[in-house]
Amino acid sequence: MGSFVRIAVAISLLISMHSVSGTTRNYEFNIQLQNVTRLCHTRSVVTVNGEFPGPRIVAREGDRLLIKVTNHVSNNITIHWHGIRQLRSGWADGPAYVTQCPIQTGQSYVYNYTVIGQRGTLFWHAHISWLRASVYGPLIILPKLNVPYPFTKPYKEVPVIFGEWFNTDPEAIVAQATQTGGGPNVSDAYTFNGLPGPLYNCSAKDTFKLKVKPGKTYLLRLINAALNDELFFSIANHTLTVVEADAIYVKPFDTQTLILAPGQTTNVLLKTISKPPRANFLMSARPYVTGQGTFDNSTVAGILEYESNTNLPLLKPTLPSLNDTSFVTQFSNRLRSLASVQFPANVPQKIDQHLFFTVGLGTSPCEKNKTCQGPNGTRFAASINNVSFVQPTTALLQSHYSDQSKGVYSPYFPSNPLHWFNYTGTPPNNTFVSNGTKLMVLPFNTSVELVMQDTSILGVESHPLHLHGFNFFVVGQGFGNYDPKNDPKNFNLVDPIERNTIGVPSGGWVAIRFLADNPGVWFMHCHLEVHTSWGLKMAWLVLDGKLPNQKLLPPPVDLPKC
**pLDDT number for residue 55:** 98
For residues 179-196, give the mean pLDDT: 97
Please state, rounded to an integer, the average pLDDT across all residues of the chain: 95
**pLDDT number for residue 486:** 98
Does residue 449 surpass a pLDDT of 70?
Answer: yes
Length of the chain: 562
Q: Count other Cβ atoms within 10 Å, centred on residue 502.
A: 26
Distance CA 236, CA 255 (A): 12
Does residue 14 surpass a pLDDT of 70?
Answer: no
**pLDDT number for residue 13:** 37
User: Between 363 and 21, where is the model more confident?
Assistant: 363
Residue 241 DSSP SS3: strand
Contact call for residues 248 and 120 (beta carbons, < 8 A): yes
Distance CA 165, CA 61 (A): 33
**pLDDT number for residue 160:** 98
**pLDDT number for residue 20:** 53
**pLDDT number for residue 557:** 98
User: Going along 22-150, which residue ranges are E strands?
Assistant: 24-38, 41-48, 57-60, 64-71, 79-82, 108-114, 120-126, 136-142
For residues 214-232, give the mean pLDDT: 98
Confidence of residue 4 (pLDDT cuts 50, 70, 90): very low
**Residues 259-269: tens digit of each pLDDT:** 999 999 999 99
Does residue 7 surpass a pLDDT of 70?
Answer: no
Does residue 310 surpass a pLDDT of 90?
Answer: no
For residues 419-439, give the mean pLDDT: 96
Proportion of the chain in helix, strand, coil states, percent, rounded to 5: 10, 40, 50
Does residue 418 surpass a pLDDT of 50?
Answer: yes
For residues 158-184, give the mean pLDDT: 97
**Residues 61-119: tens digit of each pLDDT:** 999 999 999 999 999 999 999 999 999 999 999 999 999 999 999 999 999 999 999 99
CA distances in angstroms from 550 to 88, 112, 138, 347, 467, listed in the order given: 8, 18, 30, 20, 20
For residues 300-328, give the mean pLDDT: 93
Q: Under the phi-then-psi rule, with left for phi > 0, alpha for psi from -120 to 50, and beta for the rest, what region is 342?
A: alpha
Distance CA 433, CA 287 (A): 28
Contact call for residues 197 and 207 (beta carbons, < 8 A): yes
CA distances in angstroms from 134 to 129, 130, 165, 191, 493, listed in the order given: 12, 9, 8, 11, 39
**Residues 376-385: tens digit of each pLDDT:** 999 999 999 9
For residues 17-45, give the mean pLDDT: 90
Please give the share of the chain, as a percent, with pLDDT higher than 70: 96
Distance CA 274, CA 49 (A): 40
